[in-house]
Amino acid sequence: MSEINTNINIPVYTAKDFASDQYIRWCPGCGDFSILAQVQRSLPNLGIKKENLVFIAGIGCSSRFPYYMDTYGYHTIHGRALAIASGVKIANPNLSVWVSTGDGDCLSIGGNHFIHTLRRNVDINILLFNNRIYGLTKGQYSPTSDHGQITKSSPLGTIEYPVNPVSLALGAGGTFIARAMDRDQKHTQEMIMRSAGHKGTSFLEVFQNCVIFNDGAYLQYTEKETRDDNVIYLEHGKPLIFGKNKNKGIKLQDGLKPIVVDLSDGKSSVNDVLIHDETSRELAFILSEFGETPGLPMPVGVFLARKRNTYEFDMEEQIKTAIGGKPVSVDELLAGNSTWEI
């Protein structure tokens, strides 16, 4: 199971134990390197035997990931990683199943599987490498590219509007939804650990920089000078505060409208600020739309973490109940209940 356990029978691993012997073929400077490193650094802390880890991927830069992991891995076809991973997990719930995917693979061609995997709550960890561009096919706009973005396939600017992966995951009924940034290694590791610990589908969107086709897409969130005023770190039970001097807070005005208040102007205090509650689906919906609203900071961290039975657990229960401890005979099944002798 992917929940963290402290079984002493688990060997002591280091990050290196999870690195395969394959040459890594991402472009120099690609954000994927960081995600790979954070995953490899996190795994030794999860208490999962190496042989029980399975990394599944579809197609795209992100999806080469399994080749670089010295675990079980399956590099499948475009968009289908989540369906294949669901099959693996349902077949053997003891495995820790991970999917590395991209914005095209997960949200465009694989959008249907994304919705339904979240809805079913199969215990899979989804790592979405969101670089807001098609990298492997060399620079077409993706479902998360900005409106108006000029790309190979939108020379005059894309006339499509982007999908918000976190809002989509919420709408699909996801039970664990989080966001991290490739440049923030420590926080990314923390989010990987949280994802792994969640029983059910965990969805972690990672802002990932494509140095070749969409360089700097997340600069305002990742650069030291601008980061603090543009990013808010979500922490359960803590007030929603951000800013260089921790002097800005989020407050709800006129019902459901989030606004930024200045905590240093004497008019508002930390007591007026919203407290983050990662069990609240309603709050998660409000926070998920922050990135779409000018003036509001981009949230990273855990938007939502709720408990619900996993798909495979309920299936095993149904099977157990059906068997009911009694021996069954396939020969009787073949004979059916209406026979005659000739």
Partner 1 sequence: MEEEKSFKDTDVKENVNGGSTPIVPIDDVTIRFAGDSGDGMQLTGAQFSDTVAASGLDVGTLPDYPAEIRAPLGTLHGVSGYQIHFSTHEVHTPGDSIDVLVAMNPAALKVNIKDLRKRGIIIANADAFDKKNLELANYETNPLEDDSLQNYEVYAIPITKTTISALKDLNLSMKVVVKCKNFFALGVVYWLYNKAPDNTLNWIHDKFQKSPDLIEANSRALKAGYYYGETTEIFTNRFDIKPSTILPKGLYRNINGNDAVALGLVAAAANSGLQLFLGSYPITPASEILHALSKYKKYGVKTFQAEDEIAGISTAIGASFAGCLSATSTSGPGMSLKTEAIGLAVISELPLVIVNVQRGGPSTGLPTKTEQADLLQAIYGRNGECPVPVLAATSPSDCFTMTYEAARIAIKYMTPVIVLTDGYIANGSEPWKIQKLADLPKINVTFRTNPEGFYPYLRDEFLARPWVKPGTKGLEHRIGGLEKQNITGNVSYDPENHQIMTKIRAKKIKNIEMDIPELQVDGDPSGELIVLGWGSTCGAIADAVENVRAKGRKVSFAHLKYLFPFPKNTGNVLKKFNKILIPEGNTGQLSKLIKSEYLLDTIIYSKVKGAPLKSPEIESKIEETLLKNN
* Residues near partner 1, by CB under 8 A: 20, 22, 49-54, 56, 59, 66-67, 69-77, 80, 83-92, 94-95, 112-113, 115-116, 315, 318-319, 322-324, 328, 330-331, 333-336, 338-342
How far is the C-alpha of 65 from the C-alpha of 71, rounded, in Å?
Answer: 11
Provide the Cα torsion 189, 192, 197, 201; round to 10°: 170
Is 111 or 157 the residue whose CB approaches partner 1 more closely? 111
Q: Hey, what are 2's tokens? A: 């992917």
Q: How far is the CB of 98 from partner 1 (least distance, A)?
A: 12
Is 156 or 333 the residue whose CB approaches partner 1 more closely? 333
* Residues contacting 169, CB < 8 A, separation 6+: 114, 118, 177, 203
Is 66 or 299 the residue whose CB approaches partner 1 more closely? 66
Q: How far is the CB of 93 from partner 1 (least distance, A)?
A: 10
Neighbours of 149 (CB within 10 A): 18
Q: How far is the CB of 61 from partner 1 (least distance, A)?
A: 14
Is 157 or 171 the residue whose CB approaches partner 1 more closely? 171
Q: How far is the CB of 261 from partner 1 (least distance, A)?
A: 43
Q: How far is the CB of 336 from partner 1 (least distance, A)?
A: 5
Q: How far is the CB of 257 from partner 1 (least distance, A)?
A: 35
Alpha helices in 29-94 (DSSP H): 31-42, 81-91
How far is the C-alpha of 104 from the C-alpha of 141, rounded, in Å?
Answer: 9
How far is the C-alpha of 308 from the C-alpha of 33, rounded, in Å?
Answer: 33
Is 66 or 162 the residue whose CB approaches partner 1 more closely? 66
Is 117 or 188 the residue whose CB approaches partner 1 more closely? 117
CB 97 within 8 A of CB 69: no
CA R_g for the chain: 22
